[in-house]
Amino acid sequence: MKILFRTIPLVALLSIGSSSLVYAVDDVAATKHNLSSTQTDKVNNLSTEATAFVCGFCHSPHTETGGPAPLWNRGSSAATYTMYSSATMDMTIAGAPASISLACLTCHDGTVGFDQLINGAGSGNYVAAGADQGWTFNLNGVPTTDTMPTGVTNLGNVLTGDHPISVTYDPTQDTAFQSVASVQAALQLYGAGSDQVECASCHNPHEATNPTFLRVGIDTLCTTCHIK
Ligand code: HEC
Ligand code: HEC
Ligand code: HEC
Ligand code: HEC
């Protein structure tokens, strides 16, 4: 079998990434987001050819149009979510998780298999809705099904106990917040207006220098946005 991933688009993907200063130091292979067969403590029963491509669990050079994150290679979750709500919130929260957060939830709501891929390994293995590759996983040395095991990394679909996501960052609604520009300089806001707080505003899925993939240290993360 040939390896699926063609050289030119992958090189292009990598060079776009490395033009960013933050991305230049990322090393996803050294994190818990490396689900490939190079991580023998996490994954078993996988052919090296099929799964040596670390990025392929999330991205493919050829995949659906307009997935939740760039070149997204994962089947979507069918879950409906209950969003955070509180009487003291001033900003607008969407009725459902948007784009980048849905991408995380394709693993972290616990309903979609890690191996539910749109463009699976090998020639002609393209299924627009995503297809179960039939691989088995061995998370942290514990054999598991192919979905997120119960525990703190499985957020489920009730997000009322999780920091608000898909909320429009707007300090004019609440003066106890830093300026949009200062947040954008340190973290990442998403959406057409570059003003949406999503999972990946706080977490960088590619790098775990800071524990739990945080974009900045836990000592300064909260006050990068909140004036408290
Ligand atoms: C566990 C899932 C996951 C894996 C594995 C993964 N990514 Fe990503 N990637 C994401 C998500 C989610 C986003 C969108 C959020 C963001 O902006 O970082 C993203 C965004 C990107 C972007 C655009 C934004 C940026 O940071 O430049 C590039 C380029 C990228 N990934 C490349 C890669 C490459 C190359 C690999 C393999 C070495 C890889 N990714 C592995 C989840 C993943
Ligand atoms: C391909 C599936 C997949 C996707 C997509 C994914 N993750 Fe994960 N993530 C995992 C797995 C597997 C673990 C390890 C879980 C465990 O050991 O319990 C993990 C662990 C984590 C952890 C805990 C790390 C630690 O050290 O305890 C965080 C935080 C996290 N992911 C955030 C995210 C965010 C934010 C996104 C989207 C930007 C995302 N993940 C997308 C599979 C995924
Ligand atoms: C406002 C910032 C912020 C947002 C938004 C956010 N997180 Fe987190 N997340 C954190 C912090 C901080 C921690 C580490 C908490 C700790 O050290 O106990 C964390 C921890 C986690 C963990 C690991 C829990 C553990 O203790 O091992 C996972 C998994 C996770 N986040 C996933 C997500 C997902 C998925 C989303 C979107 C649905 C999300 N996060 C949105 C800040 C955020
Ligand atoms: C990327 C910016 C950002 C970061 C980083 C961030 N927050 Fe928030 N946080 C927000 C926004 C925006 C809201 C919604 C505020 C509103 O509507 O009034 C919010 C809401 C909250 C709320 C709910 C307030 C309410 O009225 O119900 C709490 C509590 C909170 N954040 C705590 C934290 C903590 C603790 C951290 C660090 C782990 C953190 N936040 C990091 C942007 C952020």
Interval 58-116: pLDDT, tens:
999 999 888 899 999 999 999 999 999 999 999 999 999 998 999 999 999 999 999 99
pLDDT of residue 10: 38
Q: Is residue 1 part of a domain?
A: no
Tell me the range of 22-26, 119-123, 186-190 where mean pLDDT is highest: 186-190
Using the mean position of ligand 4's atoms as its centre, give its distance from the Cα of residue 163 in Å. 6
Give the residue, 45 or 90, on which the prediction is more confident.
Answer: 90
C-beta of 112 in contact with ligand 4 (< 6 A): no
Segment 112-141 mean pLDDT: 85
21, two tokens: 């200063």
Q: Is residue 190 part of a domain?
A: yes
C-beta of 174 in contact with ligand 4 (< 6 A): yes
pLDDT of residue 50: 52
CA atoms within 13 Å, Cβ hemisphere of 119: 20
Query: What total of structural domains would you count in the chain?
Result: 1
Full residue range of the structural domain in which residue 70 is found: 7-225
C-beta of 70 in contact with ligand 1 (< 6 A): yes
Mean pLDDT taken over the chain: 84
pLDDT of residue 38: 59
Using the mean position of ligand 4's atoms as its centre, give its distance from the Cα of residue 144 in Å. 33
pLDDT of residue 106: 96
In this structure, which amino acid lies at residue 142? V
Closest CA relative to residue 63, chosen from 6, 117, 132? 117
pLDDT of residue 11: 36
Q: Is residue 71 part of a domain?
A: yes
Q: Is residue 2 part of a domain?
A: no
Q: Is residue 110 part of a domain?
A: yes
Q: Is residue 119 part of a domain?
A: yes
Q: Is residue 12 part of a domain?
A: yes
Closest CA relative to residue 74, chosen from 130, 32, 140, 133? 130
Segment 175-201 mean pLDDT: 97
Q: Is residue 52 part of a domain?
A: yes
C-beta of 225 in contact with ligand 4 (< 6 A): yes
* N-to-C CA span, the chain: 57
Q: Which of 5, 59, 117, 199 to mutate to test the pocket of ligand 1 (most atoms within 8 A of CB)?
A: 59
Using the mean position of ligand 4's atoms as its centre, give its distance from the Cα of residue 223 in Å. 9
